[in-house]
Chain A
Amino acid sequence: MGVFKNNKREIESEIFTGSMADISFLLIIYFMVTSVFSATRGLDFALPEDNNETPEIKQEDSIDVFVQPGGDLQLDGNPMAREQIADKLLPYIEETLRENPKKPVILRTDPDATYGNMIYVFDILRTPIEDGGIKIETISIPTQREISNIWTMLGVAQ
């Protein structure tokens, strides 16, 4: 008796992956074009909590750092050239804080100075002081309106 051979062919199941590379590269290009390596770091400062008590203001109880147009400073009224700031600002503040560590540093900026000038000084003030140094506890950045109010309170004509 002749044996009938079943001539079944195996059907290969296969997922078509030919277009996968196209899709993948399309996704890569999309992410590359739309993603931004944004700057996500910077200097922080906390604003004081609301306080209804009027603080007693004594001009000599603070260190006055005044940034001028061009980047030069007036440090407690004494001029300091921009080139000297990096070397002389912190030692001066440290010496002053040794007498009174609670003294706040008031950072004022001339309206005609640039934001970069102000940030340059603020960055130095925020630089961690080396071992044995004194930490600046309070750095205050008053706005022009607040400064005007203070002068008015003190009765000083600007």
Chain B
Amino acid sequence: MAVIRGREKKSGGEIFTASMADIVFLLIVFFVLTYNTEVDRTQVDLPETWVRKNIPKKAAVISISSPDQGEVVRVSTGEEMSLPVSTDEEVITFASTVVAQDPAKEFIIKADADVHYQKVDAVLDALKQSKVKVIFLLSDQKTVDG
């Protein structure tokens, strides 16, 4: 008996990947445009406010970590990574140096909402003594639920 050999063609399952390159490049362009190097990576729970204004890029940053993390003060010129400071005098020295180089330099205070005000007061005083003109208090957006 003759055996009929079936000429089965293997049907290869294929995912259409032609548009993948477009999507990938779109994502890359998005990340390149929105890429933002953060000079201070202190994890803080910012206070929430209704009123919020845009903060200029490259402003100097002074951060104060939460009481759980020891309310550590760190300073950054806005271009280099932040460094911890231990005394108010060091904050004054830092701010005075920055202001001497750029008298119009803005400063950001990035402090945890639970920080004792005494600590913020000391930083504010240091900035005032250093003749800083504009200070921004970093905050999160307040919501109706919050």
Residues on A facing B (Cβ under 8 Å):
20-21, 24-25, 27-28, 31-32, 34-47, 49-50, 67, 109-120, 122-123, 126-128, 141, 143-146
Looking at B8-16, B75-83, B133-141, the stretch in contact with chain A turns out to be: B133-141
B47:A47 contact, CB within 8 angstroms: no
Q: How far is the CA of A38 from the CA of B61 in the complex (A)?
A: 13
Q: What are the residues of chain B within 8 A of A46 when measuring CB–CB?
A: 133-135
Q: Output the least CB separation between A113 and chain B (Å).
A: 5
B51 interface neighbour in A28, A35, A43, Cβ under 8 Å? A43
Indicate the size class of the contact surface on chain B: 35 or more
Residues of A within 8 A of B51 (CB): 43, 123, 126-128
With A36-B38, A42-B138 in contact, do A119 and B28 touch (Cβ < 8 Å)?
Answer: no
State whether A109 touches B121 (Cβ < 8 A). Answer: yes
With A50-B131, A120-B47 in contact, do A115 and B139 touch (Cβ < 8 Å)? no
Whether A32 touches B131, Cβ cut-off 8 Å, given contacts A112-B117, A115-B111, A119-B137, is no
B140 touches A39 (CB 8 A): yes
Nearest residue, chain A, Cβ from B47 = A119
CA distance A101 to B67 in the complex (A): 39
**Chain B residue at minimum C-beta to C-beta distance from A27:** B28
Q: A123-B49, A145-B125 known; A40 and B55 CB under 8 Å?
A: yes
